[in-house]
Amino acid sequence: MSDIPFNSDVERTKSSPRGVRVWDLPVRIFHWGLVLAVTITLVTGFLAPEWRLDIHVWAGYAIALLVTFRLLWGLYGSRHARFASFVYSPKKTIEHIKGVLRGKSAHYSGHNPAGAVMVFALLVVLATLTVSGIIILGGQENLGPAAGFIPFSTGVETVSIHRLVAYGLLFLIAAHVIGMLVESHISRENLARAMITGRKQDAASQPIIMPNATINSRALVIVVIVGLTGGGAYAIMSATPASGIVKFSPDDTYASECGDCHYAYNPSLLPRNSWQGIMAGLDDHFGEDASLDSETANSILAYLNKYSSEAWDSEAANNLRIVSVKNPLSITATAYWRRRHGEIDKKVFEQSNIGSKGNCVACHRDADSGRFDDAAIFIPAPPVPPKT
Ligand code: HEC
Ligand code: HEC
């Protein structure tokens, strides 16, 4: 291998003016696909409001697929894509880093030892982020493959881990880009461009060797098995009903008696004590007389008690369970409700197609289910006044 002339400009131009192909196409598509998906998750995760979570989640799934592909390609891919080709001893890695610090770098056709550490660190960090993300999605939002068995509290507790690892990812990306620039400078080889063209100019580079047909067919079988197992597990897990959302049939009496003056609130939006307080004081209900005969009132109370926030493990129920001390019968007076809606202009609630803060369904299309999914929030545009 070392019989290839090294560092000879003449030889370099002569042997192959366009350089030697070292990165196969799947590796390059993986790399730039990952750059795109990770950028989307970082931007939506750190900067976008929570109700753009859907984009964050889709990019997260893309990362999970890309990382799974890379793990397989690391076992069955071409020469420089294989993990075995870039596992270096700690001694060699330290030597390499020392060399780089002195402005010298030994030539490596594929990943150099520092780059190799980066690949493994990134794969571990990205795997941790996707797993913790799925736990949060399932627990906090009652969505995704883990919705059936992760409690809300676990989802909320996982947020800090997810965020910490995301900062770790930012750090790794910075180190990766700086390392790439330094190595490019020392080796006079544009390594970012090499990841686009797949080619390295350095005459010592060894060309890729794609796996032969037998290995390829074995790899294909493994990919199919992993795909079927992963896809099957995802489908079965996703089909499990969300553990925090109660399936219930709406009560007709409640809908007609309590849906007259305002939206008939989903019972999960208040705890039992508050519903009891409301039903006990209907003669002076927020300044209105909403009295009912005792039979009707009792049947409504039974329904509200049965499906009050205590029965749910959803994001809305868990947060709205903490009622306002001053106004314990109101949903919109809770600190959580006010915090989540604090950025919405008062005028929006007064729009004729919304009417009041309490008209949850005007903006939350899934309010009746008690889910209050971020992806189901749509603030209606103000109605256009008729032309005169
Ligand atoms: C006569 C009209 C009327 C009827 C009938 C009525 N309400 Fe109300 N309700 C109001 C008004 C007015 C308010 C306070 C203003 C607002 O938030 O819309 C209110 C507020 C509420 C709130 C607090 C909403 C918030 O903003 O946090 C709850 C909960 C509620 N009502 C439950 C009920 C239930 C349960 C029934 C049926 C037993 C019922 N209401 C029937 C008029 C009515
Ligand atoms: C004018 C439209 C509008 C109305 C009316 C409204 N909401 Fe919202 N709500 C929003 C928006 C927008 C957000 C997202 C805020 C954010 O994340 O920055 C939100 C967020 C929420 C969330 C958090 C959802 C999540 O998954 O993070 C809950 C729970 C919620 N609202 C409950 C209610 C309830 C209960 C009512 C009725 C009493 C209500 N909202 C009325 C617009 C509205």
Q: Which of 269, 285, 308 to mutate to test the pocket of ligand 1 (most atoms within 8 A of CB)?
A: 285
User: Does the pLDDT at position 10 exceed 70?
Assistant: no
Query: Considering the chain, what is the average pLDDT of its residues?
Result: 91
User: Does the pLDDT at position 3 exceed 50?
Assistant: no
Band the pLDDT of 13: cuts 50, 70, 90.
very low
What's the mean pLDDT in 337-360? 95
Q: Looking at ligand 1, which atom is closest to the CA of residue 330? A: 27
364 Cα: distance to centroid of ligand 2 (angstroms): 7
Handedness of CA 378, 36, 145, 132 (dihedral sign): negative
The span from the CA of 22 to the CA of 208, in Å, is 5
Flag the least confident range among 91-95, 126-130, 201-205: 201-205
Q: Looking at ligand 2, which atom is closest to the CA of residue 332? A: 38
Q: Which of 257, 258, 260, 262 to mutate to test the pocket of ligand 1 (most atoms within 8 A of CB)?
A: 262
Which ligand sits closest to the CA of 315? Answer: 2
Tens digit of each residue's pLDDT (9 = 90 or more) over 316-346? 999 999 999 999 999 999 999 999 999 999 9
What's the mean pLDDT in 98-106? 87
The span from the CA of 97 to the CA of 41, in Å, is 31
What residues contact residue 258 under an 8 Å CB cut-off, 6+ apart?
Answer: 264, 265, 290, 300
Which has more pLDDT, 167 or 15? 167
Tens digit of each residue's pLDDT (9 = 90 or more) over 161-192? 999 999 999 999 999 999 999 999 998 889 99
pLDDT reported for residue 17: 67
Which has more pLDDT, 20 or 128? 128
Tens digit of each residue's pLDDT (9 = 90 or more) over 253-265? 999 999 999 999 9
301 Cα: distance to centroid of ligand 1 (angstroms): 14
What residues contact residue 152 under an 8 Å CB cut-off, 6+ apart?
Answer: 139, 140, 142, 244, 313, 314, 315, 318
